Amino acid sequence: MTAALSVTDLTREFDVSAPWLNRVVERKPRAFLRAVDDISFDVPFGSCLSLVGESGCGKSTVARLVTGLYSPTRGSLRFSTDPAGKPLAAQMIFQDPYASLNPRWRVFDIIAEPLRELKLRDGDAAISDRVSDLLSTVGLSPKDARKFPHEFSGGQRQRISIARALAGEPRFLVCDEPTSALDVSVQAQILNLMRRLQDEMNLTYLFISHDMSVVRHMSDQIAVMYLGRIVEQAPTETLFAEPKHPYTRMLLETIPNVRNPHRRREAPSGEVPSPLNPPSGCAFHTRCPLADARCQAERPAMLSHPDGSRVACHRVAEAMDPAPAAP
């Protein structure tokens, strides 16, 4: 399947050094934080790839790299043309619907801005009709165009954010935890809306979340990130049915099980390392119950498996291709 987005060896570092004079007086070197560390993935047309992991793992940095808000330190991102041969347009749906909308603008101006700036409609009448259509598409009334953002609930504001993103007529949407600021019932409404829009408009999603239940509902593929690296990527049902990486299994243990609420679960050991001083070898070895000396010394390669998954774990690789027994 043709990839709408191909990411190859993507890395992003941030200079978090103290000011020059402080470094001279305190004799400290410059400090760099590697938020994204040499990751690669493809997002096929019409699909949804989700990036999932704990806070601080680099998911949102990837979203900002894809949308051009950050530039890569190394590596590349390549958008394809759409099936009709047109350049692929991408837009972003932000996490906080309270902060992402200009409180001084009416909803009409918020949604109309991309139409005007990108010259997608000519004349006030055409712009007004398009704004009304977009509001109807996301489940709001065209009359809501005259209101200000503070007059809406969180779920309604996120619908406005989706309408604004769709105004640019994108084929690719980057969704940075679009439901994490909403309560559970409203989350379900927004997720169902996004699934419907994907089917109706043949949209492609890069979906960012820390909630495994949400990504299971939305995704065709899931990539699990830990400390800036992808440690496992697999088709959604494959990952939930047979998670291979120990970190993926730990994340799945956090999902409530209504059928067996008192099931035995192993609490994760250790603390998340600082990205300013990441561990050597496998980044997860300080918390992994299966870690050995090789995990501490050698970074595991991302290997493909027959079921369509890719995993970066020495122990998983050894299980697939065990060393021959000694004579």
* DSSP string of 103-142, one letter each residue: TTS-HHHHHHHHHHHTT-S-SHHHHHHHHHHHHHHTT--G
Band of the pLDDT at 111, cuts 50, 70, 90?
very high
- Please write down the long-range contacts of 116-122, taking CB distance under 8 Å and 24 or more positions apart: 118/168, 118/169, 120/167, 120/168, 120/169
Q: What is the pLDDT of residue 127?
A: 95
Cα–Cα distance measured from residue 205 to residue 90, given in angstroms and rounded to the nearest whole number: 10
Q: What is the pLDDT of residue 197?
A: 94
Q: What is the pLDDT of residue 265?
A: 60
The residue among 36 and 319 whose pLDDT is bigger is 36
> Which two three-digit tokens encode residue 319?
């299980």
- 180 touches 96 (CB < 8 A): no
> Which two three-digit tokens encode residue 239?
């990952």
The residue among 163 and 323 whose pLDDT is bigger is 163
The residue among 248 and 256 whose pLDDT is bigger is 248
Q: What is the pLDDT of residue 208?
A: 94
Give the dihedral sign, CA 253/254/258/260. Answer: positive
Alpha-carbon distance values, 320 to 193, 232, 252, 303 (Å): 41, 15, 22, 10
What percentage of the chain carries pLDDT values higher than 70?
Answer: 92
Return all residues near 129 (Cβ < 8 A) that are at least 6 apart: none
Band of the pLDDT at 325, cuts 50, 70, 90?
very low
Q: Would strands 221-226 and 48-52 be described as parallel, antiparallel, or unpaired?
A: parallel
Q: What is the pLDDT of residue 204?
A: 94
Average pLDDT over residues 177-204: 90
Mapped onto helix, strand or coil, the DSSP state of residue 3 is strand
Average pLDDT over residues 135-145: 95
Return all residues near 25 (Cβ < 8 A) that are at least 6 apart: none
Band of the pLDDT at 269, cuts 50, 70, 90?
low
Token pair 């994340």: residue? 251
Q: Which letter, b or e, does each residue of 183-199 get, where b requires 16 or more Cβ atoms within 10 Å of its Cβ?
A: eeebbeebbebbeebbe
Q: Which of 25-39, 83-97, 264-278, 290-304 has the lowest mean pLDDT?
A: 264-278
134: Cα separation from own chain's centroid: 25
Band of the pLDDT at 276, cuts 50, 70, 90?
confident
Kindly report the average pLDDT of the chain as a whole number. 89
- 39 touches 227 (CB < 8 A): no
Q: What is the pLDDT of residue 6?
A: 95
Residue 201 sits at φ, ψ, to 5 deg, of -110, 5
For the cut 80, the answer to whether the pLDDT of residue 321 exceeds it is no
- 232 touches 248 (CB < 8 A): yes
For the cut 50, the answer to whether the pLDDT of residue 324 exceeds it is no
Q: What is the pLDDT of residue 258?
A: 57
Cα–Cα distance measured from residue 76 to residue 189, given in angstroms and rounded to the nearest whole number: 35
Q: What is the pLDDT of residue 327?
A: 41
For the cut 50, the answer to whether the pLDDT of residue 163 exceeds it is yes
Query: Going from the N-terminus, what domains does the chain have, and what CATH number goes with each?
Result: 3-89+170-320 (3.40.50.300), 99-169 (no CATH)
